[in-house]
């Protein structure tokens, strides 16, 4: 019996090298665990029937001595990342039967490394949500407490990893969708610098914000995945060329800024206490903690909820009952559009299409959209200014711990508040890592997050590993 709970990517790799088990045996162990646990968790929407064949190919690489760290590692993939020949539904009825005609760049890279794709995971419809409750395919449960949500929108990937029915997982972030579920499920989640990892082959939500983002059981695992995926890709016009990624190497990376003023938006008491304890641990480990002010960041959610729906409304225009996916018949073209979109999209997707169409409409464009774009620039500028003085910005990842299934569904604004600390990194494009920081008396995970300057994921891995040591 392989002890799946104890495995990390590096440990599994070592065991595969030593011949303690094969890729096929490892994949088979996960498939067995999936059979047992997935009916309750609903982390996966589909298990790929070629998983064992993929594992055989990986075993061959070990025999040929061409295996690398990720060869044979069983992955869970969010349902909005294209894998050629497989369905990618983005958690929506409108794409229920849509089969991808090509591989996303991240999938191509993972295939080259010889990973095993176990299946595609549940998510909020088109990645809109913070709890994986807006999926057309039912809710996903948090493996730590199955009466609670796993977070979202990448909740299926988080639940798969935390429930030991995958060894690694990919999600996507537009605003917190990997860091927040990492926090709720006790995982590490990395939102890379915008432009570091290719978006080619990702079903778009808000293009100027979307980023493929890895989950890991520990910091090293997210680092391994990031190192493989981070590269320039000509297929994505927003992918940053290698020569523009160069960063100056700082000698001192010990100064952490905390924007306490952001706490005024409301943080649960136990989350605030855990945050203070984490700060004390960092101080003891030799870090200098200073107060910083990033005043415009308090408007980041307001700006996000204008920019994102604007992009959503244009991105989702292509789902019209003619070109892609679900189609509902009608007497003329307009009726096909209307009824396909009305029946194919869920409530949250429809809400955001309406909002986005409104903020982009003639007469409101300047009042809303253009203003939000200006606020976004201010936020980016103040964060870059803050980084002239500090190496990291530290906040809690989410103002609360995992909430109960069904909660917040009738109050979208309280759901949106889950992202209060995530939004500044997404809007400014800087990288951010969510790290487990202990458990509540109820046994629910706490989490803190660090932001670093653009392309300084290395700093996040460095402090992340240090924080793991001092837990
Ligand atoms: N909670 C965010 C939203 O609802 C999550 C978006 C995301 O990161 N995909 O928009």
The model's pLDDT over 65-106, given as tens digits with 9 standing for 90+, comes to 999 999 999 999 999 999 999 999 999 999 999 999 999 999
| 124, 175 contact by CB (below 8 A) | no
Domain extent for 5: 1-276+393-471
328 is catalytic: no
Cα 347 to ligand 1 centroid, rounded to whole Å: 15
Residue 302 pLDDT: 96
Token pair 């304890």 is found at 277
Cα 243 to ligand 1 centroid, rounded to whole Å: 31
Residue 138 has pLDDT above 70, yes or no: yes
CB-CB neighbours of 153 under 10 Å: 37
Q: Which of 176, 178, 191 is nearest to 301 (CA)?
A: 176
Residue 341 has pLDDT above 70, yes or no: yes
Indicate which residue's Cα is closest to atom 10 of ligand 1. 128
Band of pLDDT at residue 58, cut at 50, 70 and 90: very high
Residue 252 pLDDT: 62
Pocket test for ligand 1, best of 90, 133, 174 (most atoms within 8 A of CB): 174
Q: How far is CA 267 from CA 30, 261, 262, in A?
A: 37, 11, 9
The CB of 211 under 6 Å from ligand 1? The reply is: no
Section 177-197 average pLDDT: 98
**What is the rounded average pLDDT for all residues in the chain?**
96
Whether residue 321 lies inside any domain: the answer is no
The separation between CA 450 and the C-alpha centre of its own chain, rounded to angstroms, equals 15
Cα 388 to ligand 1 centroid, rounded to whole Å: 29
Whether residue 354 lies inside any domain: the answer is no
Pocket test for ligand 1, best of 90, 92, 130, 449 (most atoms within 8 A of CB): 130
177 is catalytic: yes
- Beta-ladder partners of 257: 290, 393
Query: Considering its fold, how many domains does the chain have in total?
Result: 1
Band of pLDDT at residue 250, cut at 50, 70 and 90: low
The CB of 129 under 6 Å from ligand 1? The reply is: yes
- Looking at the CA of residue 419, tell me the nearest atom of ligand 1: 1
Size of the chain, expressed as the number of residues it contains: 471
Whether residue 35 lies inside any domain: the answer is yes
Beta strands at 168-173 and 74-78: parallel, antiparallel or unpaired: parallel
Band of pLDDT at residue 417, cut at 50, 70 and 90: confident
- Looking at the CA of residue 180, tell me the nearest atom of ligand 1: 1
Residue 251 has pLDDT above 60, yes or no: no
Residue 249 pLDDT: 62
Pocket test for ligand 1, best of 152, 305, 355, 415 (most atoms within 8 A of CB): 152
The residue annotated as part of the active site, out of 89, 92, 135, 153, is 153
The residue annotated as part of the active site, out of 78, 108, 217, 378, is 78
Band of pLDDT at residue 399, cut at 50, 70 and 90: very high
Q: What is the DSSP string of 387-440?
A: TTT-SEEEEESSSS-PPBTTTTTT-HHHHHGGGTTTHHHHHH---EEEEEEEE-
Whether residue 192 lies inside any domain: the answer is yes
153 is catalytic: yes
Section 186-215 average pLDDT: 98
The residue annotated as part of the active site, out of 89, 135, 157, 177, is 177
Whether residue 357 lies inside any domain: the answer is no
Whether residue 247 lies inside any domain: the answer is yes
Residue 349 pLDDT: 97
Which 8-state DSSP code applies to residue 361?
S
CATH number at residue 78: 3.90.1300.10
Whether residue 74 lies inside any domain: the answer is yes
73 SS3 class: coil
Higher pLDDT, 221 or 253: 221
Residue 253 has pLDDT above 80, yes or no: no
Whether residue 136 lies inside any domain: the answer is yes
Q: What is the DSSP string of 135-184?
A: -TT----BTTBTTB---SSSHHHHHHHHTTS-SEEEEEESSSTTHHHHHH
């Amino acid at each position: 019996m392989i002890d799946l709970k104890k495995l990390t990517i590096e440990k599994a790799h070592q065991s595969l090298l030593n011949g303690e088990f094969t890729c096929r045996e490892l994949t088979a162990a996960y498939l067995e665990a999936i059979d047992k646990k997935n009916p309750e968790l609903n982390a996966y929407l589909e298990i790929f029937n070629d998983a064992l064949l993929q594992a055989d190919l990986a075993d061959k690489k070990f025999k040929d001595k061409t295996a690398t760290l990720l060869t044979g590692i069983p992955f869970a993939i969010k349902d909005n990342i294209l894998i050629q020949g497989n369905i990618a539904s983005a958690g929506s009825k409108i794409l229920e039967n849509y089969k991808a005609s090509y591989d996303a760049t991240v999938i191509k890279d993972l295939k080259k490394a010889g990973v095993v794709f176990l299946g595609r995971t549940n998510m909020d419809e088109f990645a809109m949500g913070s709890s994986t409750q807006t999926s057309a395919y039912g809710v996903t449960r948090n493996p730590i407490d199955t009466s609670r949500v796993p977070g979202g929108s990448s909740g299926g990937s988080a639940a798969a990893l935390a429930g030991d029915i995958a060894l690694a997982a990919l999600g996507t972030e537009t605003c917190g969708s990997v860091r927040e579920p990492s926090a709720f499920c006790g995982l590490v989640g990395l939102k890379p610098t915008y432009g570091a990892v290719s978006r080619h082959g990702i079903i778009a939500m808000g293009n100027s914000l979307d980023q493929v983002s890895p989950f890991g059981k520990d910091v090293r695992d997210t680092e391994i995945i990031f190192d493989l995926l981070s590269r320039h890709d000509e297929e994505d016009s927003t992918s940053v060329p290698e020569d523009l990624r160069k960063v100056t190497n700082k000698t001192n990376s010990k100064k952490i800024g905390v924007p306490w003023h952001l706490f005024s938006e409301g943080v649960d008491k136990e989350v605030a206490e855990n945050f203070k304890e984490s700060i004390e641990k960092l101080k003891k480990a030799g870090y200098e903690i200073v107060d910083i002010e990033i005043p415009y960041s308090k408007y980041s959610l307001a700006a996000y909820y204008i920019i994102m729906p604007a992009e959503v409304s244009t991105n989702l225009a292509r789902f019209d009952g003619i070109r892609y996916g679900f189609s509902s018949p009608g007497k003329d073209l307009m009726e096909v559009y209307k009824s396909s979109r009305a029946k194919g999209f869920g409530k949250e997707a429809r809400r955001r299409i309406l909002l986005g169409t409104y903020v982009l409409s003639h007469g409101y464009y300047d009042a809303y959209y253009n203003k939000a774009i200006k606020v976004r620039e201010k936020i980016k500028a103040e964060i870059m200014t803050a980084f002239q003085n500090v190496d990291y910005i530290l906040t809690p990842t989410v103002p609360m711990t995992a909430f109960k299934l069904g909660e917040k569904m009738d109050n979208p604004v309280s759901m949106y508040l889950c992202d209060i600390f995530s939004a500044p990194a997404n809007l400014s494009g800087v990288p951010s890592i969510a790290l487990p920081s202990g458990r509540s008396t109820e046994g629910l995970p706490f989490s803190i997050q660090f932001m670093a300057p653009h392309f300084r994921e290395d700093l996040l891995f460095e402090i992340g590993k240090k924080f793991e040591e001092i837990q």
